[in-house]
Structure 1
Amino acid sequence: MSELKKLRALLRDRPLFRRLWMSEVISLLGDWMSFVAISLLALQKGGGVVGLALVLVGHSLPHALLAPVAGVLADRLDRKRLMIAAYIAEAGLTIAMAIAASRGNVPAVQVLVFARASVAAFLPPVQSAALRRVVREDELLTANSLTSLTWSVMFALGMAAGGLIAALGPTIALAIDASTFVVAAFLLRVLPSMRAEGRALEGGLGTALGSVGRDMRAAVHFARERPALLEAVLAKTPLAIAGGGAWVLLNLAANEIAVLGSGAITLGILQCVRGTGTGVGPLFSASLVRRGMSMTQAFAFSALVCFGGIALLAGGYRLGLAAALVAALAWGSGVGSNWVLSCAEIQRLSPDRFLGRLAATDNLLNTAGMCGGALAGAVLVEKTGHSAAAALLGLALGVPLWAGLAWAHRRHAARISNAPPALAPESRG
């Protein structure tokens, strides 16, 4: 069966997955529309390149800061209720952002972006943990491929629409975004209770929050003893660091290329193509894995495609839109493949009681790397005046980290395989 037929069959045969998927579709479309508008607002009125990077940081950093809390709660509370509560809270904060944007209050918008992202930080580990409840284990790779394809299509449509709507101001995009969160929450109401297996909120919410450090350490210890699982948890980080710098360059390159004299339209086109890559890449990589490619080889292939695309963007965007489009497509293909492979492996290899925390650890490392790469790249651009410096710095940090992790993984796997059977009981987390 072809990959596309498997995607259609999954949507047809798994109604609960279809509901979960539809809620993401609707919220993502509004998210990316508003993200373009806010990015352009910050670049024009909020402090130049560093102000632009702060939008990404405000949008992403809470995912890193709150990932441990989100992971623990995902393993202790009803995942359905967490998702609905998060969507409703995001709707209210987005309405406040629209009001602030209509008044030209950029600092207030940035604060609200951070607040909304703090709420959104609870969604990735919860959604990842919920996914395994609505599909079979042998459907996880297909389900994650569909999730990535959906993200890509909504990213492309949202970015393209956001580029056009930005000419009318950010308020309209934010108002649309607020409505999407309400619809997403409504769609999830029919899902069954999704409390983690063998976990309960013992002693109340305060007890759960107080156990964050201990619970996260237990999950990390569990992954450290399983090289394939640890490889999946760490796989996104080097690409995220390189991608943070490349994201800064992409925004700056759009203003320099300026198709039809508009940086907003150009950014929408470039992000649309990058989003297309994040959808196409996973379908290709999933096909390679099913044909016998090892997961380690697939991770390496996706990383090389990503790094190659970023290098092409840094070296070739001045050649014009065509070169930038090819670079954005390759970058997106590598990132999308890496994302799907790592998520599917974490869901496949982790017991349900650890799944929320390991998904949160993955999210923490990914977002921290992306924010660090973007901020460091933006500061370097401010100091040197060269737009490509952001992406080049991201590569200079990300590529050696990827090579080092690959080397360490091989040594760790060999050491574990040669070790005598463990006498200690498996961690109960």
Structure 2
Amino acid sequence: MKEYIKLLEEEEVLKRLSIIQLISYFGAWFSNIAIYTLLLGLNVSASIIAFVAMLNFLSGVIQAPLSGPIIDRMKPKKLMLILISIEIIATVSLVFVNDLADLKLLYLLIFFKMAAASFYFTTEMSLLPKILDGNKLRLANELHSIIWSLSYTLGMAVSGFVVYWLGVKIAFLLDGMMFMIAFGLLYVAEMKIEVLHIEENFIRMMKDTFVYLRKTPKAFHLMILHSFVGLTAFDALVALMVEQYYSSIVATALALGLLHSARAIGLVIGPIYIGKWINNKRLIYIFIAQGLAIWLWAYMMHNFYLSLFASVVVGFFTTTLWSYSYTLLQKNIEKKYYGRIVAYNDMLFLSSAAFTSYMIGFLATHSFSLESITVIMGSGFLIGALYYTYILKTQNIKEIA
């Protein structure tokens, strides 16, 4: 933890971005719990729950091809302010969703809200390698993941109680207020980041990116590797678990909040314990451990309290897996392509997460038990371990530190 504090003291821009990130991510999870509580209260089908979970990621997939060239050409602060503004409008507008007739409005608002959030995330992640390098970049990515996880933990936990006591509409309004605070902090922040002068038009820039990927196959392999983390898109699975197993034990909003919070505890503490231990070769073991942890979750799923424990174990490996695979990509690409490559990387990751969400709903409506679905998701990480072994043998991957 001392390393992260020292990094924030040395890097003023990173410190400001981290504070804004903490506030905006914290606000985001209010609406997440409220949306699923609203859907379960309307007695929608498993396929609709899975579709909503898929929308959280699909919006980012659709805008990704355009976001890369925009990021490489536009001042980051201006772009990030525009994106937060979109999140504010979409979030506050969720109060107008009241019944099944408003589902189309819900889909539209989630699409724009998450597209802006994904765009913002890609902008920030392409910004980090421009201001940091080596071990600092690795620590910054881990810190980013820890902040996300901490926001996730507190946001989910507090939101569960807020929704339970005050209702979903108050949660949506609080979410919007959080984004407004983040907007204000970013607006007054000093951020002097060099923007490369690029003369090519959007189409030329997109074509140039694909040419670069053909010439640099290790970048493409690392993008595919990072997309395996998309198999941890558990939102639809958790909602279905609450509906099927735990609704008679604890209120829906509280159950959702507690399960997500338990996993987020693992997300926060994982990199603290294994962040210094991880290196290129040891990443294989993290993939294997993640798969086994998800299998453990499947085994304990019937019992709510054991499921909480298993959720912590599942989260323990995810942050390191996400941050290290992301840093590997950043370390192994040229500066000129940061925005575009990171955008396409996020597109693959979000596609994986969207497909995972869709398959959870599809399998759940075709006689697959939630336990068997969870086992399938865990197996994906064992395949990821084999794929990464192939990458290490065939590609010249730079060490991070």
**TM score, norm. by length of structure 2:** 0.90
- Secondary structure of the residue aligned to 1:161 is helix
Of residues 363, 370, 387, the one that matches 1:405 is 387
**CA displacement, residues 105-164 of structure 1 (integer Å, 9 cap, x when unaligned):** 333122210121122231122101222344454311111121111111100011111212
- 2:167 corresponds to 1:182: no
Q: Do structure 1's residue 99 and structure 2's residue 66 form an aligned pair?
A: no
* Corresponding position: 1:296 with 2:281: yes
Give, in angstroms, the shift of residue 195 of structure 1. Answer: 4.5
Contact 1:78–1:193 (CA under 8 A) maintained in structure 2: no
Label 1:127 to 1:247 Cα distance change in 2 as closer, same or farther (>3 A). same
Distance 1:194 1:409, change over 3 A: same
**1:220 and 2:203 equivalent?**
no
Matched, 1:73 2:70: yes
Please state whether the residue corresponding to 1:383 is helix, strand or coil: coil
Give the one of 238, 250, 261 matched to 1:272.
261
Name the CA shift for 1:102/1:74 in 2 (closer, same or farther; >3 Å). same
Q: Is the 2:288–2:381 contact (alpha carbons within 8 Å) kept by the matching residues of 1?
A: no
- Residues in 1 aligned to 2:343 and 2:241: alpha-carbon distance in whole angstroms: 32
- The count of residues paired between Structure 1 and Structure 2 equals 395
Question: 2:289 maps to which residue?
Answer: 305
Contact 1:378 1:390 in 2 (8 A): no
Query: Partner of 1:57 in structure 2?
Result: 54
Q: Are the aligned partners of 1:95 and 1:175 in contact in 2 as well (CA < 8 Å)?
A: yes
User: Are 2:135 and 1:138 aligned?
Assistant: yes
Matched, 1:315 2:303: no
**1:392 Cα deviation from its structure 2 partner:** 2.9
| Equivalent residues of 2:150, 2:265 under 8 A apart | yes
CA contact (8 A) 1:75 1:195 kept: no
* Deviation of the 1:354 alpha carbon: 1.1
Residue of structure 1 in register with 2:319 after alignment: 336
How far residue 19 of structure 1 moved from its aligned partner, in angstroms, is: 0.9
Identity %: 21
Q: Which secondary structure state, in structure 1, belongs to the residue aligned with residue 365 of structure 2?
A: helix
Report the residue type matching 1:237 in the other structure. S
Query: What is the CA-CA distance between 1:196 and the residue it aligns to?
Result: 3.7
Q: In the alignment, is the contact (CA less than 8 A) between 2:33 and 2:160 conserved in 1?
A: yes
Task: Tell me the residue number matched to 2:330.
Answer: 347
Q: Is the 8 A contact 2:226 2:325 kept in 1?
A: yes
Q: How far 1:348 sits from its partner (Å)?
A: 2.8
Q: CA deviation at 1:219?
A: 4.2
**Structure 2: distance between partners of 1:337 and 1:259:** 35
Structure 2 residues not aligned, in runs of 5+: none
Going from structure 1 to structure 2, the CA distance change for 1:45 and 1:235 (only over 3 Å counts) comes to same
Aligned to 2:242: 254
CA shift digits 1:27-60 (9 cap, x unpaired)? 1011011101102212332622111111211111
Aligned-residue offset at 1:372: 0.7
Counterpart residue number, 2:30: 33
Query: Counterpart amino acid of 1:174?
Result: F
* Partner of residue 229 from structure 2, selected from 233, 239, 242: 239
Partner of residue 285, structure 1? 274
**Cα separation, 1, equivalents of 2:109 and 2:384:** 34
Cα-to-partner distance string for 1:46-75 (whole Å, 9 max, x where unaligned): 622111111211111111222221122112
Counterpart for residue 211 of structure 1: 204
Cα distance, 1:400 vs structure 2: 5.9
User: Is contact 2:291-2:382 (8 Å) kept?
Assistant: no
| Residue 101 (structure 1) shift | 4.6
Summarize the Cα distance change of 1:73–1:16 in structure 2 as closer, same or farther, 3 Å threshold: same
Q: Which 4+ residue blocks in structure 1 deviate beyond 6 angstroms?
A: none
Partner SS state of residue 74, structure 2: coil
- State the partner residue of 1:381: 364
State the secondary structure of the residue aligned to 1:27: helix
Summarize deviations over 1:151-188 as a string: whole Å, max 9, x none: 11100011111212222322111111112222222222
SS of equivalent residue, structure 2 residue 351: helix
Residue by residue over 1:61-94, the C-alpha shift from the partner in whole angstroms, topping out at 9 and shown as x without a partner, is 1112222211221122212211111011111121
1:359 equivalent in structure 2: 342
Matched AA of 1:233: M
> Counterparts of 1:93 and 1:214 in 2: how far apart (Å)?
32
Q: 1:46 to 1:15 in 2, by over 3 A?
A: farther
AA partner of residue 384 (structure 2):
W
Distance 1:366 1:55, change over 3 A: same
Hey, what does 2:190 align to over in structure 1?
Answer: 191
Which residue, out of 123, 126, 131, partners 1:129?
126
* Aligned residues of 1:148 and 1:336 also touching (Cα < 8 A): yes
2:17 equivalent among 15, 20, 37: 20
Q: Is the 8 A contact 2:162 2:171 kept in 1?
A: yes
CA distance in 2, matches of 1:177, 1:374: 24
Measure the CA separation in 2 of the matches of 1:211 and 1:165: 49
2:165 pairs with 1:165: no
Supply the distance in 1 between the matched residues of 2:351 and 2:288 (Cα, whole angstroms).
21
Q: Measure the CA separation in 2 of the matches of 1:51 and 1:110.
A: 10
Which of 104, 109, 112 is matched with 1:112 structurally? 109
- In structure 1, the residue matched to 2:252 is 263
| Shift of residue 399, structure 1, vs aligned partner | 3.9
Do the aligned partners of residues 223 and 191 (structure 1) sit closer, same or farther apart at CA in structure 2, a change above 3 Å counting?
Answer: farther
**Deviation (angstroms), 1:191:** 3.1
| Cα distance change on mapping 1:410 and 1:347 into 2, 3 Å | closer
CA distance in structure 1 between the partners assigned to 2:395 and 2:331 by the alignment: 18
Work out which structure has the larger RCO, using CA pairs closer than 8 Å and 6 or more positions apart in sequence: 2
Q: CA RMSD in A?
A: 2.5
